[in-house]
Amino acid sequence: MTETHSRFDIRHKETLTLFLREYFELFFPDLAEKLRFGTAVFLDKELTALFGESEEQHKITDALILIQMIVDGQEERILIHWEQESKKKKGFGERMFHYFCGIYFRYRCPVFPIAMFTDPVKWKKPVKNTFRLSLGRYPVNRFSFRLIKLKDYKTGELEKKIAENPLAAAYLPLTDYPESERPLIKAKSLKGIAKLPPGQKQATLFSLIQESLPLNRKEEKHFQKLIRTDPLYKEVKMLQSVKEVGIEEGFEKGIQKGIEKGIEKGIEKGRIIALEETVKNLLRSGLLTKKQIVEFTGLSMKKINELAART
């Protein structure tokens, strides 16, 4: 795993884990009203195991989430497959289709695929959010997924939502704005998360903003002057002070160590252990009955009972 991968990409993954409700309220508000976020179970180890060793490094920063949703007045379990990409890739739609097929074949329940691109460039040719197969004039398949390209958002679009959603502030550095406004955008972003209680959530968003918008020496000087002299950004100065005494770094290192340890453990133990961890999570959540867990994972009832006794 590269340093860039571990610090930038995994920080986005940690943000989704901590702010799942806020993520859907920001990008899919209609679905947010129907999702029961208290039932969410992250099946990331199972996602890594599902696609074998060739995909391990890539699947580290993806997420597979089992969650209950209200559909036509009834509760239904669905899966959310989330991809974060830090650069444009050829054949991306086909790859998303490949993952969709594997996930649906394994779990046989509705899958909602999302791809979020966090690269800092404006695309001349956008990535298609569909993949089609046909035989001559006969269509065989049409697959689509939700594509979020943060650089396509004007800064003002997210800035309006900062008061009600801290994720809008955290993603602000990755939106579209003039190069000359980089110090100001960083100040606005940090101001937007300053009201969060000190702790893991605030530290994660602070780190995400730092990774998303590194300033050069001239920009940093402008930024420091801004937060020192403009009363609008007094909260940002306080956040900077926290960083200077090492509190934020401590949170960040703890988060990072925990994530990487979990990832490495999932990879080393392989598919069986990943399945067992998934079962334990499902048992703790109470989301599914033991019989449903048998159907969902393919493990025997005897094995489910053994794991239940150790959970």
- pLDDT band at residue 153 under the 50/70/90 scheme: very high
pLDDT at 262 over 70: no
Read off the pLDDT band of 118 (50, 70, 90): very high
Tokens of 229: 């002299």
Beta bridge partners of 115: 83, 147
Strand partners, 83: 115
Using the predicted structure, report yes or no on whether residue 24 has a pLDDT greater than 90: yes
**Which string of DSSP letters, residue by residue, matches 96-162?**
HHHHHHHHHHHH-S-EEEEEEE--SS--SSPPPSEEEEEETTEEEEEEE-EEEEGGGSBHHHHHTTT
CA distance 283 to 307: 9
Average confidence score pLDDT of the chain: 84
Q: Does the pLDDT at position 239 exceed 90?
A: no
Torsion on CA atoms 77, 200, 4, 19, rounded to nearest 10: 30
| Overall pTM surpassing 0.85 (yes/no) | no
Question: How many CA atoms, within 13 angstroms, populate the side-chain half-sphere of residue 169?
Answer: 25
Condensed to tens digits (0 to 9), the pLDDT of residues 48-57 reads 666 664 554 5
Do the beta carbons of residue 120 and residue 151 sit within 8 Å? yes
The predicted pLDDT at position 279 comes to 81
Query: Percent of the chain beyond pLDDT 70?
Result: 80
CA distances (Å), origin 219, targets 13, 170, 182, 230: 28, 19, 7, 16
DSSP three-state, residue 44:
helix
pLDDT confidence band for 67 (50 / 70 / 90): very high
